[in-house]
Amino acid sequence: MLGRKDLVHTSKKAGRTRELNFFRVGVQPGKLIVVDAPGYGARGRLEWGMLFDKYLETRKELRRVYLLFNAKHALNAFDTQMLAHLSNNLISPHGIQPFTLQSIITKADCIPTDQVSEVLTKLRKAIWEAAPLCLPPIVTSAKMSPPFGIEEVRKNMIEACGL
Interval 50-92: pLDDT, tens: 888 888 888 888 889 999 999 999 999 999 999 998 988 888 7
Count the Cβ atoms, other than its own, within 10 Å of residue 130: 19
Q: Is it the case that residue 27 has pLDDT exceeding 80?
A: no
Provide the pLDDT for residue 4: 55
pLDDT interval class at 16 (50, 70, 90): low
Please give the distance of CA 99 from its chain centroid, rounded to a whole number: 13
Between residues 48 and 99, which one has the greater pLDDT? Answer: 99
Between residues 92 and 7, which one has the greater pLDDT? Answer: 92
Q: Comparing 15-19, 26-30, 47-51, which segment has the lowest mean pLDDT?
A: 15-19
pTM of the model: 0.83
46-70 CB burial, b ≥16 within 10 A, e <16: eebeebbeeebeeeeebeebbbbbe
The chain-wide mean pLDDT, for the chain, equals 83
Q: What is the CATH number of domain 21-161?
A: 3.40.50.300
Angle between helices 116-130 and 77-88 (to 10 degrees): 50
Q: Is it the case that residue 6 has pLDDT exceeding 70?
A: no
